[in-house]
Structure 1
Amino acid sequence: MKALIHVQHLLGTGHAVRAAAIGRALAEAGVAVTLVTGNRLPPTLDTGGLAIERLAPARAADASFARILNEAGAPIGDAWRAERTRVLTAIAQRVAPDILVTETFPFGRRQFAFELEPLIETVRAARSGALVASSVRDILVRKEDLAKERAMAETAARLYDLVLVHADPSFVRLEDSFPFAGEIADLIRYTGFVHTPSALEPAGEDGRDEVVVSCGGGPVGGRLIEAALGARALSRRAGDATWRILVGHEHGGAMLRALQARAGAGTIVEPARPDFARILHRARLSVSQAGYNTVLDVLSAGCAAVLVPFAEGRETEQSQRAQLLAARGRATVLEEAAVDASSLAAACDAAIAAGRPPATTVDTEGALHSAAILIEAARKPR
């Protein structure tokens, strides 16, 4: 059996992390998996067992996602779109997968319908009875125009056999962020959360009783990092701890060096680490945005947490996820618009004073469940 997974991350890297995890689970079950990426994969990503195909890279110009840029930083045009579609459909013809998974689309990435709808058509033509599935995270970004959300459901009903929702329905359901979930209820399968943290143990005492500040793998979170540089000196309950600030690789080496030069005593600034999940198990406190993968790492570690959800543009996903954790006593939430050194120090003190958060049990075997669901469905005639 063969599978092709298409992933296009534009700002953060969580989409690619989930797609690769599902691909590895399929590969471990004996499926030959091709992962097609439309952007550069993060250097810490485990792609073992996967055949990687790279399309011409594309990224968002900013958090509005209104403009998509090519590798040279120029807006993509018709010729670029035509060439990417040609390359992608050629890959699909060559692979002829039994299973096609599109990450996010049609519930996002609508700017890439130009290549994704031809991809689906090509796969169905190349392999009669191929299974076509959409892979979506726990919470979708809400649209101001309900007609756009209705169109997403209509596209799913027209083109897809399954919609894999990577969440534990006892914690959050698709209808909590997508008002037309009921119209595609027959397609939806909950997989549990996709969480595959690294088992790498940190060196020495790294992370021990520290405040660990992270901002994900994308080029965002600058405001949080800036606040963290000054917050240690203002904190009553964490001013004695080492603060370890992890900077995403896409911020670039120049920004990393500039931040390191400004870090005061007791503060370490370094690149994002593959052992991040294990560092949190040692930490006094985690300070982070509220991205899918980071929140799962925080829940797994059981440490106190401050969440500063990314909320630029029209982003609603991280704010909703952060509030879910706050409602369960698992995190202190500080809105991004309010974050500065003083407010961050106060939030850290509040989170530490609240003590160890209550245990939260959620299904985190989403990669394995996704693979099992896809394989079983692919074996059934359509």
Structure 2
Amino acid sequence: MSEAPRIALYVQHLLGIGHLRRAAALARAYAEAGAEVLVLSGGIPVADIEFGPVAVRQLPPCLAADATFSALLDDSGHIIDSDWKDRRRALLLKEAAAFKPDALVIEMYPFGRRQFRFELLPLLYWAQNAKLLVASSVRDILVDKGRDDRVMEAADLVRRYFDLVLVHGDPRLVPFERTFPRAAAIADRLHYTGYVIEKPKAVPSADRSGGEVLVSAGGGAVGWPLFAAALAARRLSGLKDRVWRFVAGRNLPEADFAVLRKAAAIDPSIVVDRFRADFTELLANCHVSLSQGGYNTVMELLALKVPAVIVPFAEGQESEQRLRAELLAERGALDMLDSTNLDPALLAATLTRRAQKGALPIDLDLDGARHSAQITLSALAKKQAAAGHG
């Protein structure tokens, strides 16, 4: 009986926790498919993310200084320097080599995470010399930076180092070329996996009539404008007599969290949680959801058939959440409002209307984690068979 294939998965989250949650879902799917998995994680550690029977190595962590990614900070709040980069690169290469993987999966690069070329290019050199199968794991929509040279660079890196590009989306909603104009140049490596979501433990509620208004913003780092608008909209809403639950997120600044707690102290129908491990169960049973619309939350909303209003994060050059929400709103699956003009009366009316309308089912592939594992392991088996017969 042959040994289990060994897969190393690199992930770096900088602002929210969506990248890490998606990587955890992928890692579990690889393990369920029979692989031995090592996750190499470079972001700030996050409790309560379930990796399953998977080894996790924490690299020296860093995060974005702000929503515009103006700088990278270490876990002490200092801007990372060349010495920090040298130490982390050495540890990454050491951990990867010690694991002896058959395949390397890199989350986002070369379509993003360009700031980490200092360690990812050496990692790719090593993987190529070790004759590993190399895959890029990338979401359905990229942020448009308006840089044709970066697009060309990404395509060139794919052709040089990568065997697979796992696009975690469904072309029926948005084809990869919509936001990556050079998709045709790497078409032989592109594989749509479907959307990667946490497998909901909850069953969608058949009767949401008694549910809460659930307000959330992922990790919460940039969630305050949404929470402030929701507090104002609540007083104007036809849903004001319901419980409004605010799940703030671990990264919402303490000063903003204190404002939410103060509102809850005044009004018992406002409930505030910093974090809920049972968030999917809350989604499954809520009356209507108001959220920022990150990849993971949106896909859970669709899987659980939740009536939803999305206010996508759109600071700086961020365009990904908005485009996905617009495409789903065009199909009637949810409502979208613009974060730059979040009028409380409009928000209140939109929430009330969507709660009455309910969720409109949409046919999308939501089994992306399992499909990613199948595609990767099948390609690895073919590569190993070809090497064995070479």
Same fold by TM-score greater than 0.5:
yes
Match of 1:308 among 283, 306, 311: 311
The corresponding residue for 2:108 is 104
The corresponding residue for 1:333 is 336
- For residues 44 and 53 of structure 1, the distance between their equivalents in structure 2, rounded to whole angstroms, comes to 16
The corresponding residue for 1:240 is 241
Q: Which one is further off, 61-70 or 83-92?
A: 61-70
Q: What is the DSSP-based 3-state SS (H/G/I as helix, E as strand, rest coil) of the residue aligned with 1:249?
A: coil
**Percent identity (aligned):** 42
Q: What is the DSSP-based 3-state SS (H/G/I as helix, E as strand, rest coil) of the residue aligned with 1:274?
A: coil
The corresponding residue for 1:281 is 284
1:145 is displaced (CA, Å) by: 1.7
Per-residue CA distance 1:177-213 (angstroms, 9 max, x = gap):
11111111111011111112341689xx999421111
* 1:103 and 1:135 in contact (8 A); partners too: yes
TM-score, with structure 1 as normaliser: 0.94
- For residues 175 and 327 of structure 1, the distance between their equivalents in structure 2, rounded to whole angstroms, comes to 19
- For residues 270 and 195 of structure 1, the distance between their equivalents in structure 2, rounded to whole angstroms, comes to 23
Match of 1:87 among 75, 87, 91: 91
Matched, 1:151 2:156: no
Name the aligned partner's letter for residue 35 of structure 1.
Answer: V
Q: Which one is further off, 27-36 or 193-202?
A: 193-202
Instruction: Map 1:178-217; keep pairs closer than 5 Å.
Output: 178-199=180-201, 208-217=210-219
* 2:137 and 2:168 in contact (8 A); partners too: yes
Q: Cα RMSD (Å) of the superposition?
A: 2.0
- For residues 358 and 48 of structure 1, the distance between their equivalents in structure 2, rounded to whole angstroms, comes to 33
Q: What is the DSSP-based 3-state SS (H/G/I as helix, E as strand, rest coil) of the residue aligned with 1:251?
A: coil
1:303 is displaced (CA, Å) by: 2.2
- For residues 232 and 325 of structure 1, the distance between their equivalents in structure 2, rounded to whole angstroms, comes to 25
1:76 to 1:139, Cα distance in 2 relative to 1, 3 A? same
Runs of 4+ aligned residues of structure 1 deviating over 4 Å after TM superposition are: 205-208, 252-255
The corresponding residue for 1:175 is 177
The corresponding residue for 2:324 is 321
- For residues 207 and 345 of structure 1, the distance between their equivalents in structure 2, rounded to whole angstroms, comes to 17
Q: Which one is further off, 5-14 or 256-265?
A: 256-265
Q: Which runs of 5+ in 1 are unaligned?
A: none
* 1:96 and 1:123 in contact (8 A); partners too: no
1:218 is displaced (CA, Å) by: 4.4
1:336 is displaced (CA, Å) by: 0.8
The corresponding residue for 1:249 is 250
TM-score, with structure 2 as normaliser: 0.92
Q: Which one is further off, 3-12 or 33-42?
A: 33-42
The corresponding residue for 2:61 is 57
Per-residue CA distance 1:65-119 (angstroms, 9 max, x = gap):
1211111111111111111100000011101210100000000000001101111
Name the aligned partner's letter for residue 374 of structure 1.
Answer: T
1:351 is displaced (CA, Å) by: 2.0
Aligned length: 376
Name the aligned partner's letter for residue 244 of structure 2.
Answer: W
* 2:214 and 2:286 in contact (8 A); partners too: yes
Match of 2:355 among 352, 355, 367: 352
- For residues 199 and 381 of structure 2, the distance between their equivalents in structure 1, rounded to whole angstroms, comes to 30
Q: Which runs of 5+ in 2 are unaligned?
A: none
1:272 is displaced (CA, Å) by: 2.7
Name the aligned partner's letter for residue 249 of structure 1.
Answer: R
- For residues 366 and 335 of structure 2, the distance between their equivalents in structure 1, rounded to whole angstroms, comes to 22
Matched, 1:44 2:43: no
Name the aligned partner's letter for residue 379 of structure 1.
Answer: A
Per-residue CA distance 1:3-26 (angstroms, 9 max, x = gap):
100000001111111111111111
* 2:143 and 2:320 in contact (8 A); partners too: yes
1:290 is displaced (CA, Å) by: 1.5
* 1:198 and 1:275 in contact (8 A); partners too: no
1:251 is displaced (CA, Å) by: 1.9
Name the aligned partner's letter for residue 320 of structure 1.
Answer: L
The corresponding residue for 2:82 is 78
Name the aligned partner's letter for residue 15 of structure 1.
Answer: H
* 1:302 and 1:359 in contact (8 A); partners too: yes
Name the aligned partner's letter for residue 146 of structure 1.
Answer: D
The corresponding residue for 2:163 is 161
